[in-house]
Amino acid sequence: MGTWAVIAQSVSSDAHVTEFICRGRETKEEALEKLRAAVHTYLPKRNIREKRRQVYRFADQESYLVMINGKLTEWECSLRLAELISDSADPARPADQPDPAAAAGPQDRIPPGY
């Protein structure tokens, strides 16, 4: 089943910003629903008066580019779906033994002792 999250990533003043819109025990379907709702409502933490919003969907159908034109500035971010595959604080899911349900997909390997 897995644990899924919706992540917003943007660049602000030469710093990369990552924000979790939702994370927890969501199924992939629940997280996809929240992702699709967020593309029309998500706003950055800073003040922006939205005049126009453009939403681009990437070919994988699980990530979007949101571009907002404000009165004075332009802002963009990527909204993506992500699956938690390892958590060192969760003894039920050791880093060297990923979730068997996720074994069919690509795996990120964490070096031993990291």
Domain holding 29, by residue range, is 3-85
Residue 111 lies in a domain: no
Residue 101 lies in a domain: no
pLDDT value of position 34: 93
What does the DSSP 8-state code read for residue 97?
A: S
pLDDT digits 0-9 by tens, 76-102: 999 999 998 888 887 665 545 545 555
**Hey, which residues does 72 pair with through a beta bridge?**
none
**How is residue 108 written in tokens?**
């990120």
DSSP 37-69: HHHHH---SS---EEEEEEEE-TTSSEEEEEEE
Residue 57 lies in a domain: yes
Residue 107 lies in a domain: no
pLDDT value of position 17: 87
The residue with tokens 């998500």 is 42
Look at the chain and report how many structural domains it folds into.
1
Residue 98 lies in a domain: no
Residue 29 lies in a domain: yes
Amino acid at position 50, single letter: E
pTM of the model: 0.70
